[in-house]
Chains A and B, each alone.
Chain A
Amino acid sequence: MGAVDALLLAMLLSAVHKHSNVLAAVIALVGILANGVYFSKRTMPFKFLFPGLVLLILFVVIPVGYTVEMSVFNFQTGNVISKPEAFTQLLNNGLTPDSANTSYDMVLGSDAGTFTALLTNPATHISYIATNQAVKELTPGTFKINANGDAVGISGFTPYTPDQEANLDSVITSAKFPMPDGNFIQPQDTSTAALLTQTIHFDAKSGILTNSLNGKKYKDNGNGNFANISNPADKLYPGWKAFNKFENYSHLLTDSNVRGPFIGVFIWTFFFAATTVILMFGFGLLLAIALDQKLRFKRFYRSIVILPYAIPSFMSILIWKGMFNTQFGAVNGLFHTHIDFFDSPWLARMMVLIVNLWLGLPYFYLISTGALQAIPADLEEAAEMDGASGTQILRRIKLPLLLQILSPLLISSFAFNFNNFNLIYLLTGGGPTDVLHNKSAGATDILITYTYKTAFNGSSQNYGLASAISMLIFLIVASLSLWSLRRSRVLDLVN
């Protein structure tokens, strides 16, 4: 416990040091609770529960909560920072060189400890002394000039050495000297500066940003951006992470750019999960029935049949990917063809189903065998006495019983394949994707790979939308699982 405390304390200090308040609070809370639990005598159950609960809360409950939170925010590339940060950046972006491209020769130094610049306009030979607070014009004769007529010194002003300038890099790049007329002078490097005009003006009363160059007016659109009043699609970037209620969810159904791919993916996900379970169950059950008889080499067959289950599945998937390759894949080699399985939507879908059958067959063989053996033998005998044939027994007695025994496993297999990320991502990457028509989802993309693409792939990332899809998947999978748990009466055991 001492060691844990020491570690937590060190982490706490480092978090505080780096101004990460949320992390510091979490660490402090874990520390206090841990001490409370392990030094008190009355908390025996929690001594056992504590580590597991901490892990569950930190890495499941909090991320889930955060997913819910993100799903109601406009949180995507361009809308990542907070509103004040975005606002500052917008105003900075509004600083543009004036039409004459006025520039200044500059000498940087310190005046009574204040970062100061001596500026001279080489065209007009007017010199200024500038700080981040103000820019003042200098009267000729009160300062030292060099051969070009540039101001290089004045009493109280000490120029920086090149070393000092190198250390002050961030001060120099963020310096902004305000002119009396509302424009700014900004250093371009260590010896020149440029005159910048503020082209974006904020009117605090009406909350309107105006671009003085083209007269466009922008207003906070309530969804993380300032948008053109006369054309809401014209937004200013950067925006900010903004609360947008159910907009991410309603986008899925109303925004035609999102809805099209989403509905296609949604249908294919269900089709894929259902077909795959039916195929695997069908082939697996038949295999179980075939191997349930007295056969020679039965043990040998069995150990071959469960081989795919033992091989790490990501490897099997990659191996199959190679085998379906057009030029040198073994499948094309076998049939002496040159079919591009990855390019045609239906061939790719068929390929996904075949590979998944290979992966899932052993599991379905195993559970079918288990279920077949769980059916009492006297049921079969009774049916035989009544004169039922072998197929009748299978269809009327065994199959219904099997389905009943296996339905929780079939449902959980459906849920597993509903989210079979590895298969799709590694085999086809969701493709083929119709890039020509600018589609964001491929023909074999299922919801989870589509979520992954939405959140992490490509140039623009939309965490908000991805989280909304995640929540939707969760609702579907959770209700399926709870339904199957209820069927298998696990819930009764809890109560």
Chain B
Amino acid sequence: MATQAVKKNKPRISKAHLLSHAYIWLLILFILFPIYVVIESSFNPTGILTSGSFFPTQFSWANYKLLFTDPAVPFPRWILNSVLLATGNSIIAVFIGGASAFAFSRMKFRGRKVGLQALLLVQVFPSFLALAAIYVMMERVYTVFPAIGLGSLGGLLLIYLGGSMGVNIWLLRGYIDTIPLELDEAARIDGASTPQVYWLIFFPLAAPVLAVTALLAFIGTFNEFILASLFLTDVHQRTVAVGLNSFVGAQFGQNWGPFAAGSLLASIPLVILFLSLQRFIIGGLTQGATKG
């Protein structure tokens, strides 16, 4: 379609192209501006972007070194916490959510319709809206089970799991609905039990969408700030988001360089993951808005 349009508009090509190029380049400059600044400052030992000169004047690894040596900034620990939370959330969410979605899609039971409608309502409710309630609740849990109460990664993981479960079940159900019914009927005729149908037929078939759900859960958890900042007060328990925010907020001028280095380090894995899987993610976008 695109080529056709261009062919038929031949006389205006140059003008349209010129405008398009100008517009595209304007936006590209806008998009690259902060990325350039952050790369430049991560290698700049003064940490300050000297006004006037946008070209790197000094080069050093000092900012990166600080992140791994300063005991007051347990950056590797923050990354580990974030990765643990995000991985735990994405894997468990896919297994538990997948099972529930399978039941909603393929099984007949009393309360299914009501359950689906309730699910629809629940998944509209962002869990952070109940944050005062969750806080008070987890404060009480802490007095009995410190391991899953306020201030613990375990407790936060449980809240993330619960909070994203509604959306995950909803999205996965939509996908499982599109897998042809004949497949599991055939398996049943061959004598497969329901758990066998689930593990041997659905799980492999749904693998792409399970992977996307897992990836979106991973990115969502990595980016989550509000609950993590409220929950994780101990400096060693923090996630990258909470840790870097308090680090850069404490001494903006002084900590800007190490912060820039830290954001680059923390972003690179996600950027690579994202760019290599962009086809799947973008495909999943039209099903539900996750960001933007």
Binding site for B on A (CB under 8 A): 11, 14-15, 18, 20, 22-23, 44-49, 51-53, 55-56, 58-64, 66-67, 70, 280, 283, 286-287, 290-295, 301, 303-316, 318-320, 322-323, 325, 327-330, 332-334, 336, 358-364, 366-367, 370, 373, 377, 380-381, 384, 390, 409, 412-413, 416, 419, 421-422, 425-426, 448, 451-452, 455-456, 463, 466-467, 470, 473-474, 477-478, 481-482, 485, 490-491, 493-495
Contacts and interface: CB of A to CB of B under 8 A. Distances in A.
Given A52-B169, A315-B244, A328-B256, A333 B130 contact: no
Given A320-B34, A330-B37, 17 more contacts: A18-B144, A55-B158, A67-B129, A295-B21, A301-B24, A309-B291, A312-B270, A315-B244, A316-B34, A319-B263, A333-B49, A377-B1, A419-B128, A425-B225, A448-B128, A448-B129, A474-B129
Given A56-B166, A314-B223, A333-B50, A64 B125 contact: yes
B253 A327 contact: yes
Interface of B: 1-6, 8-9, 12, 16-17, 19-21, 23-24, 27-28, 30-35, 37-38, 41, 48-52, 54, 96-97, 99-100, 102-104, 107-109, 112-113, 115-117, 119-122, 124-137, 140-141, 143-145, 158-159, 161-163, 165-166, 169, 177, 194-195, 198, 219, 222-223, 225-226, 230, 240-241, 244-245, 248, 252-253, 256, 259-260, 263, 266-267, 270-271, 274-275, 278, 282, 285-286, 288-289, 291-292
B17 A361 contact: no
Contacts of A463: 132, 136
Contact of B2 (A18, A48, A280, A293): A293
B244 A62 contact: no
28 contacts: A45-B109, A48-B99, A49-B104, A52-B165, A55-B161, A59-B162, A62-B137, A63-B133, A66-B136, A286-B23, A290-B23, A293-B16, A293-B20, A294-B3, A306-B278, A307-B271, A318-B248, A328-B49, A328-B51, A330-B34, A336-B51, A336-B52, A363-B285, A377-B4, A390-B12, A419-B129, A426-B245, A474-B129
Nearest to A23: B144
Contacts of B219: 312
Contact of B131 (A292, A308, A361, A455): A455
Identify the 9 closest CB pairs spanning chains A and B, nearest first: A59-B162, A363-B292, A52-B100, A333-B51, A310-B274, A63-B130, A48-B103, A66-B133, A290-B20
Contacts of B31: 304-305, 307-308, 358, 361
A366 B285 CA distance: 9
Contacts of B166: 56, 60
Nearest to B103: A48
B278 to A, nearest CB: 7
Nearest to A495: B113
A45 B126 contact: no
Contacts of A491: 120
Most buried by B among A59, A327, A421, A494: A59
A366 B28 CA distance: 15
B127 A59 contact: yes
Contacts of B270: 310-312
Contacts of B50: 328, 333
Nearest to A422: B225
A467 B133 contact: yes
A324 to B, nearest CB: 10
A289 B99 CA distance: 41
A318 B136 CA distance: 29
A49 B99 contact: yes
B163 A60 contact: yes
A311 to B, nearest CB: 5
A306 B126 CA distance: 26
A204 to B, nearest CB: 32
B39 to A, nearest CB: 11
Contacts of B140: 20, 22-23
B292 A311 contact: no
A314 B256 CA distance: 15
Contact of B263 (A318, A421, A490): A318
Contacts of A380: 1, 5
Contacts of A308: 31
A48 B100 contact: yes
Contacts of A409: 286, 289
A146 B159 CA distance: 64
A470 B115 CA distance: 24
B128 to A, nearest CB: 7
Contact of A46 (B109, B230, B267): B109
Contacts of A52: 96-97, 99-100, 165, 169
A21 to B, nearest CB: 11
Given A319-B260, A363-B292, A287 B24 contact: yes
A31 B80 CA distance: 32
A333 B40 CA distance: 14
Given A291-B24, A312-B223, A20 B144 contact: yes
Contacts of B162: 55-56, 58-60
B1 A373 contact: yes
Contacts of A301: 24, 28
A260 B239 CA distance: 36
A333 B116 CA distance: 54
A48 B16 CA distance: 56
A55 B100 CA distance: 11
A360 B292 contact: yes
Contacts of A451: 129, 131-132
A480 to B, nearest CB: 9
Nearest to A24: B144
A413 B292 contact: yes
Contacts of A22: 140
A60 to B, nearest CB: 5
